[in-house]
């Protein structure tokens, strides 16, 4: 079982990522920390706590992270995730008091006291991870790996060349890819291929437990804001992009993905490609291959993992 801390900004796909981490017998989820991204920090924190209430796992500690990116004002994705950050379903209120510890202190406490190395999974902007790396260099060796959703070798979804999570806090992403820690990146190249379809939502709904029905409601909302590729004709059916669960699924079972070691740098300059991950796909620069970059997902097995996640829960 891998010791894991999940840093997330729920967020519809974060919700699936969190549930996947809870349900997996390969993951011992030690804590959840929340980043500001899809919604404002108070909302992503509240959503993470509600999701743990839904999953009946409120013993897992949740801590709020930084309220804004390292050097920039916060950008949120309300048009994708709604006013609450998790529009589309009613979630239960938490039954335990909110913890007052910061994400940074909680991550540090856990790593300091862990005999085993801990894997950090990030499914929002990398602000909290960067702050941790900067403030606790002595604990870097306690990190097994950082697996994050963000970036793209090709394209973008917030600007022509930048994916949202990286665009929100490019300085943080820059710190993470330069950290010297083992880093795995799940960007749009692979996450746009990790799709669920109408029939999958139906199957999830029919599993029938409260978690599955709630997740089906969330996916119905998320489907409304799914972007359709420019080349789609009237016969094309675009599924729902399960971006964030890729970063968790890789920690559960790396054989679900094709990843390749490559040099990755982050554009932090104020220009057209601000917030893009510059992935040296053809090794043109011959620089250190600092990041394992995901490109392919075994969709039938990924889908199976989603269904197993939903079946794990019972009322």
Site for Ca ion in 231-250 (CB under 5 A): 244
Residue nearer to Ca ion on the CB measure, 10 or 239: 10
Residues 6+ positions from 135 with CB-CB distance below 8 Å: 104, 108
Structure tokens at 301: 């097995």
Residue nearer to Ca ion on the CB measure, 7 or 280: 7
11 makes contact with Ca ion (CB under 5 A):
yes
Residues in contact with Ca ion, counted by CB under 5 A, come to a total of 6
What is the nearest approach in angstroms of Ca ion to the Cβ of residue 16? 10
- Binding Ca ion by CB under 5 A: which of 4, 5, 7, 14? 14
Residue nearer to Ca ion on the CB measure, 9 or 87: 9
Residue 57 buriedness (CB in 10 A; 0-12 / 13-18 / 19+):
middle
- Binding Ca ion by CB under 5 A: which of 44, 123, 128, 265? 123
What is the nearest approach in angstroms of Ca ion to the Cβ of residue 168? 10
Q: How far apart are CA 198 and CA 21, in angstroms?
A: 23
- C-alpha atoms less than 13 angstroms from C-alpha of 234 in its C-beta half-sphere: 0
Site string for Ca ion, 164-203 (x = CB under 5 A): ----------------------------------------
Q: Is 223 a catalytic residue?
A: no
Q: How far apart are CA 76 and CA 43, in angstroms?
A: 11
124 makes contact with Ca ion (CB under 5 A):
yes
Q: How far apart are CA 119 and CA 13, in angstroms?
A: 20
First to last CA, the chain: 25
Where in the sequence numbering do the catalytic residues fall? 243
Q: Name the residues that contact Ca ion, by CB under 5 A.
A: 9, 11, 14, 123-124, 244
């Amino acid at each position: 079982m891998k010791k894991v801390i999940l840093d997330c900004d729920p967020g519809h796909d974060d919700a699936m990522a969190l549930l996947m981490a809870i349900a997996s017998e390969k993951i011992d989820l030690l804590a959840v920390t929340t980043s500001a991204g899809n919604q404002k920090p108070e909302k992503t924190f509240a959503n993470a706590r509600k999701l743990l209430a839904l999953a009946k796992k409120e013993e897992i500690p949740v801590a709020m992270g930084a309220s804004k990116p390292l050097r920039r004002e916060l950008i949120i994705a309300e048009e994708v995730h709604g006013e609450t950050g998790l529009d589309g379903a009613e979630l239960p209120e938490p039954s335990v008091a909110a913890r007052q510890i910061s994400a940074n202190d909680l991550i540090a406490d856990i790593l300091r006291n862990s005999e085993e190395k801990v894997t950090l999974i990030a499914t929002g902007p990398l602000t909290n991870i960067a702050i941790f790396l900067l403030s606790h260099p002595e604990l870097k060796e306690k990190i097994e790996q950082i697996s994050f959703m963000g970036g793209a070798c090709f394209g973008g979804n917030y600007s022509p060349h930048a994916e949202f999570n990286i665009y929100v806090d490019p300085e943080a992403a820059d710190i993470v890819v330069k950290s010297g820690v083992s880093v795995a990146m799940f960007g749009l190249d692979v996450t746009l291929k990790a799709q669920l379809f109408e029939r999958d939502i139906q199957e999830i709904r029919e599993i029938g437990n409260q978690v599955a029905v709630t997740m089906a409601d969330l996916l119905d909302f998320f489907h409304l804001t799914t972007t359709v590729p420019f080349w789609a004709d009237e016969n094309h059916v675009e599924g729902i992009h399960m971006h964030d669960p890729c970063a968790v699924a890789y920690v559960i079972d790396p054989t679900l993905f094709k990843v390749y070691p490559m040099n990755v740098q982050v554009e932090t300059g104020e220009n057209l490609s601000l917030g893009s991950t510059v992935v040296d796909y053809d090794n043109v620069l011959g620089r250190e291959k600092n990041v394992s970059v995901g490109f392919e997902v075994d969709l039938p097995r990924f889908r199976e993992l989603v269904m197993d996640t939903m079946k794990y829960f019972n009322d």
